Amino acid sequence: MEKDAMTDKAMQAHRDTLQALVTSLGRDDIAVGEVSRVDGRLVFTLTRGDHTHRDEIAIDVLSDRERAMAAMMVIIPRISKPVEEKHLEASNGH
């Protein structure tokens, strides 16, 4: 994999776009962290509480809001499900 050069301004714009997608899906409890560009894809971290998840999305998907939303709907459970399972375990005394 080759890491693409990305200016700070472009990186912030991609982070803002990803955060807007997350928020528009009603998940203001999930924050977008580091973002980098690798082989035409954005590699980024999502954080919820003390959990962090690393994922990626094709940059061209972001140009189509419907496709971007669909992609993010697949990505979000990858961080939210483990957090919810941990909370359930804690509430059950495990």
d(CA 29, CA 56): 19
Q: How confident is the model at residue 6 (pLDDT cuts 50, 70, 90)?
A: low
pTM across the whole model = 0.82
pLDDT in tens, 32-88: 999 999 999 999 999 998 889 999 999 999 999 999 999 999 999 998 877 677 767
Q: What is the DSSP string of 65-90?
A: HHHHHHHHHHHTHHHHHHHHHHHHHH
Is the pLDDT reported for residue 3 higher than 70? Answer: no
pLDDT at position 84:
73
pLDDT at position 2:
53
Q: Among candidates 12, 8, 10, 22, which has minimal Cα distance to 69?
A: 22
Domain edges within the chain: 8-91
pLDDT at position 50:
87
